């Protein structure tokens, strides 16, 4: 069986999927208390690394993606599939799970 090597540059989302690099979660609270890994919340902000070509409509045309590579986005808390590549956290999610673009 052949070995499969996956890295960020080889991931190409299909349809209306978006591949997002997750921003690191906060290490401290506002009061300065250090948080253990078990108490940290899953981050909901990240940078778009790759986007699919867009959703196909019934007539065969594609709906253009609203986000592009490099955009900072806010996405639903429990959306997508978590992926860990090269020590970095990523999430693969549908465009509809993206709530906002962050400036």
**Tens digits of per-residue pLDDT, 78-97?**
889 998 888 888 999 999 99
Neighbours of 98 (CB within 10 A): 22
> 62 is written with which tokens?
């594609």
Block residue for tokens 């599939």: 81
> Residue 70 — very low, low, confident or very high, per pLDDT cuts 50/70/90?
very high
Is 75:100 a contact under the CB 8 Å cutoff?
no
Q: From residue 12, how far is each of 7, 18, 52, 103 by CA, in Å?
A: 10, 9, 7, 25
Q: What proportion of the chain, given as a percentage, has pLDDT over 70?
A: 78
75 pairs with which residues across the strands? 98
Position 26 pLDDT exceeds 70: no
């Amino acid at each position: 069986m052949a070995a499969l090597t996956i890295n960020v540059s080889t991931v190409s989302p299909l349809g209306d999927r978006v591949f997002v690099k997750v921003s690191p979660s906060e290490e401290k609270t506002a009061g300065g208390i250090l948080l253990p890994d078990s108490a940290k919340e899953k981050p909901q902000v990240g940078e778009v690394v790759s986007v699919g070509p867009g959703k196909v409509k019934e007539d065969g045309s594609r709906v253009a993606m609203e986000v592009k590579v490099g955009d900072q986005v806010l996405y639903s808390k429990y959306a997508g599939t978590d992926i860990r590549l090269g020590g970095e956290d990523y999430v693969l999610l549908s465009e509809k799970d993206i709530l906002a673009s962050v400036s």
